[in-house]
Structure formats: C-alpha cells, structure tokens
Structure 1
C-alpha cells in the first residue's frame, strides 16, 4: 500500500508478535491506498482480524470497514477475554497440527472436531461455517478466510499452554470424561462383556469399570495413563473454577 493517506497505528502488546516491523512499543506509520478498509490494512500488516478486539481512531471506536484518512491515529486492541461467540453452542474445529490439543479438549468434554489429515484451508473454512465451529489454528492465512464462522490463533506450540490459552480465552463448559478422545463421540457406561473384544488378558482380569464411545465403539478404562490424564483434568477444572 502506498501513495495514499499515511496513518499511525499502535498495536496492543499481545499482538506484537504479528508485527515484527513495528517499534518495540508496537507502533508504526504506514501509508494506505485511500480506499481499503482499516480491517484490510491491519491484516495486510500481519494481524488476523480474529485477534482484534476494538479499533479506536482518534479516541473513538470504529468498525473494521472504516476507511482511514490522512494523519489518523489508530489503536488496535486485542479481543476481550472471555471471548463470547454468538449464536451456536461453543464448539471447536482444529487443524492437522493441533492433534494433542484436540485430544485434551475432548478429555475435558469440550465438543472438538479435528482433521487428522491436511484437507486444505478452503475445506477447513467451509466446515467451520457449515458446523458453526470456532477454527483454532496457528495458520494466519487460514484465519484470514472470510467464510470462517469464527476463529482464534493458537499462540503457543506447547500443548499444555495451548490448552490453557483456549480455556482462558473462551471459558467453555467442562464435562470431563464424557467424550471419546479419538472421535469426539459421547461416552456411555459399558459392561466388561460389551467391550471384551478390546481387552487384553491382564486388562480383562484387573478392571471392572468401563465406558464406550457411542459412535466409534472404542472402550475406555482407568489404565496405566489415568493418573496423567487425571492431573490434566484436575488442573483444568481448578483453573476454570478460579475464573468463575
């Protein structure tokens, strides 16, 4: 963008990673083309609009459709937390790179769809819109697609921090141990006989309490990794309770 009005933009600290070209304060000056919206300008500088809260121009809030004028001073704020998504019940869609996060959200009973193969950005965006799911991704290009129902950038690369991010940002209702971590289906109580074909001899002898996915039929019991999973659940539930 050039040969148009020059404006001053200051980004909230949480957004600085998207604009490495800005000064340490998160401020920069940029020329616009005189016709593009402020939302387009912000995105062209590297910030997905999914991460933008309010836009303030010379002290007044403006919509993303606002066309900047010469000399305007813009403040770009981050989304408020907890973030409310209007309309559909809160549910998520995760791309191929967030498999561990998907399993942990399902462990907590959060409705979480996940694509285990790379189906491409257009297909992901279309599914987000069709199923009214919040798209979680580290792909900025995907989050800029207009057809998304809603989206959010996942800032960390560490699964435990990613889970904390999502829980803090959206505050979903937690219903631990109610969903299949493999397919997102709902679990039901099951007898040993109903899941016997999935049990090794030692498991069959040692355990008596089982659950089974209503969709894919996978069996669950408190096996060797249960303490680790219990710790993830307890930490998440405790953090959720602290936030009220």
Structure 2
C-alpha cells in the first residue's frame, strides 16, 4: 500500500495481534485509497471477529468505511459479554481445541468439534450452514468471509480458554446434560437399560446412570467425577 496515510491505534486488548511498535499510540499506516477500514485492520494482523467499535477522528464508522488521508483511527475490542444475534448460541471448535470442547459440553453448552483437520474452507462452511460461532486460534480461519461468526481463543491453557469463552459469550450453563464425546443430549437411564454395557464392578457399585441419545454412551459418577465436578462448580461460581 502506498496511498493516503492514516494513523491507527489499537486498544490494549488487541495488542496480542499487533507488533510491539504499534502498541503505543496511533502509528502511521499507508493505505491504497480503495480498501475498506476492515481490510486495513485485518492487514495489520487483527481479525475482525475481535474488533468492536471503530472510530475515525472520534466518530463511529463501519468496517466498510474507506479511510481518507490524515484520518486517525482507534480500534476497540468486542464488548463483553458479546451478543450473537440471529440464532441460538452454539459453537464450533477446530481440531486443536478438543479439551475446551469437552469442557463446554460438560457444562451443557452446545459445542461441535472436528477431531480431524478438515481444512479452513470446510470449517467456515459448517459455521455458516449451522450458524455456529467458530472458536479457533487460527487467525487465517477467522478472517474467512463465509464464517457466520467467530472468536479467537486467546490462551493455550484449557482452564483459561474456558474462562475466556464463558466471560465473552455468557452462554447458559446446564451441567451434566450433554455427551462430552459427541455433543448429544443426555437422558436418564436405568441400570437395566444399560446393563449390557457395564462391567461387573460398575454394575455392583453404581445405580444412577445417564445415556446419550445420539451415540448411546453411558455415564455414571465414576473415578473422575470429583475432578469434573470441580470444573463445573468453578464455572458456576464464576459465570453461572
């Protein structure tokens, strides 16, 4: 770009996406005089999924605004909690976020997950077809125009990832209602209904069971229940 020069400043919440030199005040950026402000912001490293208000010389503008020479742009992060209009709040996670997907499902949040790398075009197409918010750490994926909605997952630690998603979107939490394996809905099951899938020790020791309507996986309060319960209780205390 070698056209009109503008000045762009990013809020601290977006500094993770921009070089150190652009993190302090508004810095000069050469544009081509044709590209939209949204395109300019993304060319500087910030996916539009992470952008909230765009202001030019103190007035709000849309991402479709074409910058003119001398304008000063301030870029703010999305408001939290972020509202996603037009469909029930549902998520789609890429292949790298399996633990986060299972924890969201544990809390009863509708979280589809691709366990294999099906490629960015297919993920974006599924997001659009099913109206799911795409969660990913892949900035290139989040810049795809066919996405219905998306959000960058800022941390690599599952605990922080979960906290970030719950804080950002404030989904309704309904723990123990979804299958952590396939995202299906759980229903109560009697011991007789699931007896053929229980080992002897489990059948003797437990009486309360649930079963996934989709994949028929059976659940009970087994050896890992206390660990899972701690995750649930922490999420409810902070975001319930």
Q: Same fold (TM over 0.5)?
A: yes
Structure 2 residue aligned with 1:97: 96
Question: Counterpart of 2:27 in 1: which secondary structure?
Answer: strand
Computed over aligned residues only, the root mean square deviation of the Cα atoms, in angstroms, reads 0.9
d(CA) in 2 for partners of 1:90, 1:208: 34
Cα separation, partners in 2 of 1:151 and 1:72, compared to 1, 3 Å:
same
Q: Distance in 2 between matches of 1:17 and 1:107?
A: 29
Q: How does 1:116-155 map to 2 (within 5 A)?
A: 116-155=115-154
Matched, 1:110 2:109: yes
Query: 2: distance between equivalents of 1:9 and 1:68?
Result: 11
**What displacement does 1:193 show?**
1.8
Tell me the residue number matched to 1:38: 37
In 1, the alpha carbon distance for the partners of 2:224 and 2:85 equals: 37
- Secondary structure of 2:60's partner? strand
In the other structure, the counterpart of 2:4 is 5
Tell me, what secondary structure is at the counterpart of 2:80? coil
CA shift at 1:223, angstroms?
Answer: 0.3
> 1:93-136: per-residue Cα shift (whole Å, max 9, x none)?
00000000000000000011000000000000000000000000
Paired residue for 1:75?
A: 74
Q: The residue matched to 2:70 in structure 1 has which SS?
A: coil
Distance 2:238 2:25 in 1: 30
Aligned-pair distance for 1:27? 3.4
Say whether 1:88 aligns with 2:90: no
**1:154–1:165 CA contact under 8 A, matched in 2:** yes
- The 5 A counterparts of 1:1-244 are 1-2=1-2, 4-25=3-24, 27-241=26-240
Deviation of 1:195 after TM superposition, in Å, equals: 1.4
* Deviation of the 1:26 alpha carbon: 5.4
What secondary structure sits across from 1:124 in the alignment? helix
* Cα pair 1:16 1:26 within 8 Å, conserved: no
TM-score, scaled relative to structure 2 = 0.98
| TM-score (normalizing by structure 1) | 0.96
Distance 1:32 1:221, change over 3 A: same
- Range with greater deviation from structure 2 (189-198 or 229-238): 189-198
Q: Unaligned stretches of 5+ in structure 2? A: none
Inter-CA distance 24–64: structure 2 relative to 1 (3 Å threshold): closer
2-structure distance, mates of 1:39, 1:23: 17
Q: 1:136 is paired with a residue of what secondary structure? A: strand
User: CA 1:33–1:21 in structure 2 vs 1: closer, same or farther (change >3 Å)?
Assistant: farther
Q: Secondary structure at the match of 1:84?
A: coil
Flag structure 1 segments of 5+ consecutive residues without an equivalent: none
Q: Secondary structure at the match of 1:230?
A: helix
